[in-house]
């Protein structure tokens, strides 16, 4: 186990810059999720760390070792591919043993370690099966055991859950958390799913077009997104442009005819800002809250149900305000109904100078 340090690493493919010079430090034993949409550069960075691509510039260290120009097999890094990459002609146990046998580890030792790893991932009784006899989630566990069996200094995961259905994906998320807690292995995972990143990572680095947008704890990134891109990626929906009145923690934002509070303390009088709201921070309140500061009224649009929760939109003056609620809260509501609502200051984000043209 060791700290990962990426210093000023960049990459260009066919004249297109896919990674601007960036820095990343993942502390010993931490779980870092690299989050971003397709084309953000996250998988390229992961492959550079693994040694599958060479950087144009910069350096990569794992602990005290500079691995920038080392071959893949000399980096002592475990890598789990998105498509599992299991050998179909080998048994589950032989798949897990493969890396050890390639290192000329005695067969008896390799077999013992493979059995230990299969036990760790909950497949202790599956060693004799072939990959074709396993479900997608089980195959992913085999790939994870194979990456762990060589006792790597660092574990890299490339969208390991994207091919799984929702139920299995949730189970694998819990398994990854458990295994990370048990091994304490420094881990970097690529994902485009914000919920995966927030659940698994104790550190999240968000990328867009090869540029780091924010590198923070999940809680800090959600509560205080560093810019409009981050807020929108995490589910923030634009209310349009507004104007700040007051300054510091007492400032309000006037947008679409409403005066709204935000928890930010970096706004200044007269700032023109792009305003985004988190739908889960909007709540419908009872009529007894009519005199409460920070509430307003609007008309509820059609309600969409998604099992345990529901989504709707409130038309309030010029604004269309999204709201997410529990399904039982939506049961008493109907489209076209006038409702009173409140927006939590922590759910309203304003960014000066970043509005769309």
The predicted structure's pLDDT at residue 44: 96
User: Which pTM was predicted?
Assistant: 0.90
pLDDT grade for 356, boundaries at 50, 70 and 90? very low
Query: What is the C-alpha separation between 234 and 169, in angstroms, rounded?
Result: 20
Longest dimension (CA), the chain: 77
Count Cβ atoms within 10 A of the Cβ of residue 354 and give its class: 0-12 exposed, 13-18 middle, 19 or more buried: middle
Which has the closest alpha carbon to 155: 41, 36, 62?
62
Return the half-sphere exposure (C-beta side, CA atoms, 13 A cut-off) of residue 8: 2
What does the DSSP 8-state code read for residue 159?
S
- Tell me the C-alpha to C-alpha distance, in Å, between residue 63 and each of 2, 33, 129: 5, 19, 37
Tell me the percentage of the chain whose pLDDT exceeds 70. Answer: 96
Distance, in Å, from the CA atom of 198 to the CA atom of 221, rounded to the nearest integer, reads: 9
Q: Is 170 helix (H, G, I), strand (E, B) or coil?
A: helix
CA dist list (Å): 319 to 86, 225, 242, 258: 52, 22, 11, 9
**C-alpha–C-alpha distance, residues 334 and 348, integer Å:** 26
Say if CB 138 and CB 123 are below 8 A apart: yes
Tokens of 78: 């475990």
* pLDDT tens by residue, 164-198: 888 888 888 999 999 999 999 999 999 999 999 99
Tokens 């990572």 map to which residue? 201
CA dist 6 to 44, 125, 134, 153, Å?
13, 39, 37, 15
Tens of pLDDT, residues 41-56 = 999 999 999 999 999 9
Q: Where are the alpha helices (DSSP H) in the chain?
A: 42-50, 92-102, 107-120, 136-148, 166-183, 194-200, 218-223, 228-233, 327-330
pLDDT digits (tens, 9 = 90+) for 73-109: 999 999 998 888 899 999 999 999 999 988 999 999 9
């Amino acid at each position: 186990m060791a700290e990962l340090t990426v210093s000023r690493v960049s990459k260009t493919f066919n004249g297109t810059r896919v990674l601007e010079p960036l820095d990343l430090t993942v502390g010993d034993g931490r779980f870092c999720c690299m989050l971003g949409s397709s084309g953000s550069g996250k998988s390229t960075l992961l492959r550079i760390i693994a040694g599958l691509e060479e950087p144009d510039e910069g350096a990569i260290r794992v602990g005290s070792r500079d691995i920038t120009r080392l071959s893949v097999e000399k980096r002592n890094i475990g890598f789990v591919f998105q498509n599992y990459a299991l050998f179909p002609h080998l048994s589950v146990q032989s798949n897990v043993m493969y890396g050890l046998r390639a290192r000329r580890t005695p067969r008896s030792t390799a077999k013992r370690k493979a059995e230990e790893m299969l036990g760790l991932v909950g497949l202790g009784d599956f060693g004799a099966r072939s990959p074709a006899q396993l479900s997608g989630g089980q195959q992913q566990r085999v790939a994870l055991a194979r990456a762990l069996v060589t006792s790597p200094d660092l574990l890299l995961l490339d969208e390991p859950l994207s091919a799984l259905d929702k139920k299995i994906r949730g189970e694998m998320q819990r398994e990854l958390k458990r295994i990370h807690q048990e091994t304490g292995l420094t881990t970097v995972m690529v994902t485009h799913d914000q919920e995966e990143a927030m659940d698994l990572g104790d550190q999240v680095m968000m990328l867009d077009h090869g540029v780091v947008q924010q590198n923070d704890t999940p809680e800090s990134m959600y509560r205080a997104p560093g810019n409009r891109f981050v807020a929108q990626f995490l589910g923030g929906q634009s209310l349009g442009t507004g104007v700040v009145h007051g300054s510091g923690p007492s400032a309000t934002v006037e947008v679409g005819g409403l005066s709204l509070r935000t928890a930010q303390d970096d706004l200044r009088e007269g700032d023109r800002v792009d305003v985004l709201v988190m739908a889960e921070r909007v709540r419908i309140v009872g009529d007894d809250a009519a005199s409460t500061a920070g509430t307003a009224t609007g008309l509820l649009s059609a309600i969409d149900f998604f099992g345990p929760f529901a989504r709707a939109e409130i038309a309030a003056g010029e604004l269309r305000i999204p709201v997410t609620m529990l399904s039982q809260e939506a049961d008493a509501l109907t489209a076209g109904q006038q409702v009173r609502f409140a927006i939590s200051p922590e759910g309203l984000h304003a960014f000066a100078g970043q509005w769309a043209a």
